[in-house]
Amino acid sequence: MVTTEAPARPGTRPPRASVSAPGARAPRTPRPGGVAGAVLVNAALVVASVYFLLPIAWVLIAATKSPGDLYSTFGLWFSDSPQAWENLVALFTQDGGAFSIWILNSILYSGVGALVATVISAGAGYAFAKYDFPAKEALFWTILGGVLVPATVIALPLYFLLNAVGLTGSYWSVLLPCMVSPFGVYLARIHANASVPDEVIEAARIDGAGDLRIFGSIATRMMTPAIVTIFLFQFVTIWNNYLLPLVMLNDPKRFPITLGLTLWNSQTQRDPAFTTLVVTGSAVSVILLVVLMVSLQRFWKADLTAGATKG
């Protein structure tokens, strides 16, 4: 975490961190049973991480095995003749390099979709937080109701709608629907309420700044943690999406990774070599996302507006 704010804002600081924070009270004396409790807590944490890491460890190990070894060696240890490189070469050369195209497509869908979704939901959320207009609450609750609508209810009719205007099968058929994030509007509204004080807006107005400029250069800066959160969650949501591309796309050149891997998976019964491709492809895509999530982890909690509200 990169918070650097003074300890004057207890609400934003995780309670466990405050124990050792400067200015905190002296560490409390351990109670009887504290040691056993500590062992239990940490044992539970370790057991939980074994559970969450199990499939990831399995696929990373399995990706180094030949098709034969996949079934004949113990799943959580390497075989005597690892062939990770051969598997990777096969993965990236199969079907004319289809896998690389799927990765790029996934990045395109998730990156562009999440970017646009973030911009328009941040604007809308800010508008809901800071302006009064007719039917505001009714409109907001309608949008919020959108969070409750199962995605499948949208995807099937959307196919028939986009089919009518000839968009199905195109990049747009997946990109456009991904640019709507009702949950993003909700997050942006509560964060604009909490982190953009009316006084700052009034002061900027008195200084002659226009409303759009106030939003673009002042409010968005104060809302940065919320904006990053909206982007990340929308990115992952689109990356993980399966039904929408499944319904919309039929040309494998436009598939995202999820759809591509299931395409190969459906061919494993015809040709067992595809099993290795699916396993290696899964491993590569898991690594991609794990790298993304771990490297961006600090942004989820980074309190970048700390201090901005105090001036």
Partner 1 sequence: MTASTLTPVRRSRSRPPAALWVLLVPFLVMFALFFVAPIVFAVVDSLFAQKSSGLGLTAPTREFVFMDNYVAALSSPAFLASLGRLVAFSAIEVPLMVVTALALALLLGAAAARFPRLFRVTYFMPYGVPGVIAALLWGFLYIPATSPVLQLLGAVGIHANPLSSDAVLFAIANIALWGFAGYNMLILIAALDAIPSDLYEAARLDGAGEWRVIWHIKLPLIRPSIVLITLFTIIGTLQLFVEPLVLRPLTTAISSDYTPNLAAYNQAFTQGNPNLAAAMAVIVALLAFAFSALFLRIVNRKGNRAW
Is 180 one of the binding residues for partner 1 (CB under 8 A)? yes
Is 270 one of the binding residues for partner 1 (CB under 8 A)? no
**CB nearer to partner 1: pick between 90 and 144:** 144
Q: Locate tokens 């050792």: which residue?
A: 20
CB of 50 to partner 1, least distance (A): 10
> Which parts of 215-244 interact with partner 1 (CB under 8 A)?
215, 236, 239-243
Is 171 one of the binding residues for partner 1 (CB under 8 A)? no
**How is residue 39 written in tokens?**
């062992």
> Which parts of 139-168 interact with partner 1 (CB under 8 A)?
139, 143, 146-161
**CB nearer to partner 1: pick between 294 and 311:** 294
Site string for partner 1, 242-261 (x = CB under 8 A): xx---x---------xx--x
C-beta separation of 283 from 59 below 8 A: yes
CB of 144 to partner 1, least distance (A): 11
Is 71 one of the binding residues for partner 1 (CB under 8 A)? yes
Is 60 one of the binding residues for partner 1 (CB under 8 A)? no
83: three-class secondary structure by DSSP? coil
CB of 95 to partner 1, least distance (A): 18
Q: Which residue from 22, 80, 133, 166 is in contact with partner 1, where contact means CB under 8 A?
A: 133
